[in-house]
Structure 1
Amino acid sequence: MTENKQISANSLFPRAVFSHQNGISWFVLFIGLLSTVFAGVYLIDREADAASREFVLLTDDITDAIRKRMIDHEQILLGGAGVLDASASVQRQEWRILVERLRLAENFPGILGVGYAKVLREQELARFEQEVRSEGFPDFRVHPQGARPLYTSILYLEPFEGRNLAAFGFDMYSEPTRHAAMRAAAETATTRITGPVKLLQETHGVVQAGILMYVPVYRQGMLLDTPDERMAALRGFVYSPYRMGDLLSGILGSLTPGIGYRLIDTAAGLDNPVLFSDLANGDDVASLQRTVELSLYGRDWQLEFNSTPTFDQRYNNSLWVFIVGFCVSLLLFVMASLLALRKQQAELLAGRMTKQLRASNTALRQAEERQRLVLKGSNDGWWDIHIPEMRFVASERAWEMLGYPALSDEQSLHRWQSLLAPDDRHALTQLLRDAIYSDQMAFSAEVRLSHKAGHLVPVLLRGAIQRDHQGVALRASGTMLDLTEQKRIEQMKSQFVSTVSHELRTPLTSISGALAIVNSGSLGDVPAAMSKMLEIAESNSQRLNHLINDLLDMEKLAAGKMKFEIRTYALRELVEEALSANRAFADSRNIDLVCRDFADVWVRVDSMRLHQVLNNYLSNAIKFSPEGSQVVIEVLHDGERVRVSVTDEGEGIPFEFQDQVFGKFAQADGSDKRKQPGTGLGLAISRELMEQMDGDVGFFSEPPNGACFWLSLPTERATEELPESTPNNTKRKVLVVDDDPMIADFIALVLRRAGYIPTTSISLHGAQLLLQQERFDALVTDLRLQDGHGLNLIRELRAEPLTGRMPILVVSAYCDEGQRLLHGDNDPCLAWLDKPVEEKKLLNMLDDVIQRALSV
């Protein structure tokens, strides 16, 4: 009987499925399938739109990267051209050092080298070949051979090794493609690149398409107004060869995930216009394609981009919507059919599902509420605190930051507090308490949390407060951002700034010194055509000098490495020094510097650092003052403190910028076209310097009625022995030691102008011989010399009774290293000055160390 009932039920089920009573089940199936179709079509459209936007962004990034790198390569060649312009003859060793300094393989992967091709007339060819052979290249010949009116032999190409050896002596002007680019560059005095060529460097391996970039170099003093005049004045070309595959790989690296591209030179008549292609077979029918035109240095390039299957696969998930939707619809249909067939079972199942649905809806509403609150922060990690019960919950990512497994249930707030670093616990608790019991709606704090492994993790906590209609705080929700990588990058940035700044010091001092010597007329009269350009070059080298000094001062202050020589000074003398130093700048802008009379007071400061702050205030006031106006400096003595203020008549500081004035790199006009140049570091450094000297800084401004910047210092009684007046330098003999002859000559020129009698030496041995033969009143020395270290010379002098108290001024880019090697020596007759040097600072430091030596 039971078996018969089972058979009957099985036979009735198919008929019940197609009966009118089961119509609701068919309606559910129809709605489910229709919803699946709509959802799938919507997702396909969204995926196509997202893929298209990402494709455009990636192709724009690739195009911009190629354009920017080619501009960088042009700057390299322009730098080489500048060296040739500055010197009548550049030796092979000098060219090698120049290129090594560029670190091409490290900073510009893909570039084969930087070279110089010399222009020769037919009558100059034999003498030129003989000169190169005499340098140690007995088999050198300009090739290809043959009589031509003009040759451009490759003379220098660094690195001079590997593939580059094949190009030595090659006449690039003899090959049509190179000839066209070189002639266009020479006639227009602009940078040009060639069409596709086969490079001489293709000596082994897979042959890649090649191009070359040329920058023309002309003989100084010749007319360059017309193409014929430029060709007549042509001296040579600074150039770089590129294997396009290696170049693009170095430029783009990992910038092309899922993107294939082809680079084509669109000029007509090319046998093989393709410069590079990584498109595989079949990529021409890719789902996404784009063509971008790129014009660079006289050539028109075309970039053809195709999406790859890897890229398309990331946006091809709509099939799962149809599969899942169909399965869900079929499942709902079966369930509805079962409900129609078995009413009692359906009612029981419906009751059970209703309970589950209510629980799910409750949990969903809570999750949506938390999500809504934390959307104000990032999705890096979120947390939520129920304030009345002081319980919290955090996301999986938040726990993962600290090395703990995710805890989805609510925890006591004490658990979270125990993870805070002891130094941060009280401050964060107080911040949260203040936010809860005030009308604040949001807060943020940077704290350190303990990782499970034992180290501290810096994080940024940002949160928002949810309150009821009476303003009582109910919840605090927000995000947690891991700052570990940001801190590491900040440290790397600081190290980078310090390293680059130090590497620039010596060459910048040499450049500034050379320009100063030329402009002074010590080497003869400067031609009128050059005078203005040399003055501009010297002015800009000084600007670069100030920039490097600002960066180094900021880095030293941040690292706590800046040393201060605190002594008691008469404030009047310091103010008058600052006014004197800026008066020429004010006169050049027709600005009147006015100092209100004041009773003299004494302050304990580092005179050089206070002068730096006053100079910054005064130069800023002069820069932002209109022509014919006044800049007023005023000193007010108020009890135990004295305030020095500098007031201008400029446009004032915009209200929206005033809270950023003393910040790093802060400038009211931050655009590339701002009227006044600067780094935005001066006021930030001034604030740090004043804090180190127990001082304060501030300002007030009511636009457009100018601005007033002030500094405040504690006063001192004049109980110490004050510095004596500057000694008379006439007939004082000073030995200047520096391995760079240009820097040595520059320092000697500065000293000679100030009344000293300088003698120079470019080696340690030479300095020792001079000290044995003659008595000097002071020594100015570099540290790293060709044949030894300046510290050895200092130790030798200190070991001798006659020179044990000789005034010594160390002028070097490695003063920190020297002071460390002397183990913090506090020799009063020894002073340190970082390169690059300024004339006034050099004289002040030398006068000061001589004065200290006389008083010992």
Structure 2
Amino acid sequence: MLRAMSRSPSGEARADRSRPSLRRGYVLAVVVLVGSLLMVWLYAREAGAREQRARQAEFAAQSGEIAMLLRQRLLHYELALRGGVSLYWSVSRPTHRQWRDYVGGLDIERQFHGLLGLGYVPYLRRSDLEALQLAMREEGQGLFQIRPHGVREVYGPVLMLEPQTIGNRSVLGYDMFSEATRHHAMADARDTGEVRLTAPVNLIQRGGDGRRNGLLMYAPVYANGIQPGNPLARRTAISGWVYAPFHARTFIDSALEPFGAGQVVRIVDIGDGEGRETLIHEDAGFTDGANPDSLRHSETFDLYGRRWRIDFQSQPAPAGAEGRPSNIQAIIVAGVIMSLLLFAVVLALAHTQSRAERLADAMSESYRRSEQRFRNAMLYSGSGIALLDGAGRIVEANPALARTLGATPESLPGTAFAAQFVDPIADAVLAGGHAEPLTLQLRRNDGDIRLVQLVHSPVPGDVGSDVAALVQVDDVTDRLRAEREVRMLNRTLEARVEQRTRELTLANHELESFAYSVSHDLRAPLRTVEGFSRLLGERFGGSIGADGIDYLARVRNAANRMDELIDALLKISRIAREPLRRTDVDLSGLAGECLAELQQSDPSRRVETVVEPGLEAGGDVALLRNLLQNLLGNAWKFTGGTEHARIEFGRAAGDGAMPGMVEFFVRDNGAGFDPAYASKLFRPFQRLHGADEFEGHGIGLATVKRIVERHGGTIRAEGAVGRGATFRFTLPARAEAANAEG
């Protein structure tokens, strides 16, 4: 302890001399780290700006490609519309079949992504509408109805729309000229003679995302296929429009698909010079807030009478993408790592000497503490411990070993350890080493022989030390003597238990024989009483009067009831005597048979019976049939006064309390019982209802309890007065498990 607390003056002087060099090392390391990090930061700022400009230029070029692709797709739609216009120029009024063949040849689903179809809208005045309706009726197409209803000067209903999907058929008859946005685009196309695009509208057809937002393109069709030269003449010569509806989201997603979803887009309809803005499409994740990590680009262009602005924004980097550094980032990371390495090298050199000194002091203190722990363990251990040299002589021993040998600790060093034992094998054991405890005889210095347990194991000693092994000795004489006494008491107790078991078995046999003999001996006098009472009533009934005959009837009834009680007593005794024949029993089948017998015995009653199918248990089939007959018979009897009687047999939700057991129940909604007297239900001849209410002898539930207990189960009853009763009992799940336990 004193060695740990004291420090040498030369050690303190060396520590004082190392502190200035250590401080200079700290300063140098910090200067190197700050200078290198400053250079890395300057390079990173300039390289980051160059990389951001390059990314912005690449993003703008890609955004321009997307805008061009959108315009090209609209151009494809325009070509399809102009093909329809050419069809109307070549044929004054194409039939539905001709229009269907033209649209089918376009292969819209594969060639025109997002396009819902091509349709024709005639320009009709009121008189023209009536003529069209009459002509369609004569052709057998039925009445052509216009939506919305109402009288207007000019109509623009959808006459044809192919392909005829469910959504497209719902559009037929819709008056587009009556809706402001569609009317504006149709009138503009009529007056200019060019294809025109509507502002965003709600289409009647739903898109794949369940939304209706979309756009329509209109191409005017003039009479005789000739386009007049001025707007006024065009209004007179207009005969209709070929139009194409398409969903905005499908149209835009198809354009973005080749670019791998690297951008999110927002498209805004700026209008046709009126200054109003209408959102056409906006991708999820598009934000208006400033985000320094996202790239942005916008383009505005005129398109079919409308002006669109497309805002592009780069998507957030996917999960894990932040971990993929660019070349500049790799150089920056390498620069930071090199700076830290330089700092670490300089700092490590400054710490080397002081750390070595601290480690040496720590190891010396650890060794001292370890040695002190070993000394304390030797000193305060309750077991005898000794260190032996290569020749088997004691080098050091603790006080516990001295007490076991009956000597003082000072007298043991230098003595032969094997000489303390009576057994001749002690020398071989100590020479070879043995980690398992051995019980040997040890002779104390006072001549007393003690039994000890010895553990011997080799241990490495210090350099130059003669310690070769460690032995541990425990005196077990008193414990072994106590164990012998316990074993003797156990043998005596087993003999007593076996004797008491034989006496109990003999007493049970004698009790069963007594019950059987008494029941048979009681039958003879009971029959005599019953017989002479019957003869007395038959021969001398007129002499004894009505009261006498009533008394004789009571005597005979009491004798008959006594005979039935004797039968019940014999039945209980037979249940206890007969051996069990265990098999797997179909309880559902047995319950069904018992209920059928009860219904056959009383066919006038109507009782709802519920038997859960597939119930099985391991046991004696005859005893289990007796069990179910008693329980179901009780339920049948005690529901006699219930208007809507119900009896149920099934398996409880949880298994029995013991492994391998299954819990079943029999439930009824009959008379029930007071829960305070539930413990009396299973006692022989105990009844909770009078004989005038329900007949019986009070032996059925006692029989049930014995059958369940013979199978290793338990039974309990639940109920309330007027609310029915439930009997829950457990049986083995399988006959094999029951036989193994039995």
Shorter-chain TM-score tier: 0.3 to 0.5
- Give the greater-gyration-radius structure (CA): 2
TM-score when normalising by structure 2: 0.42
TM-score when normalising by structure 1: 0.36
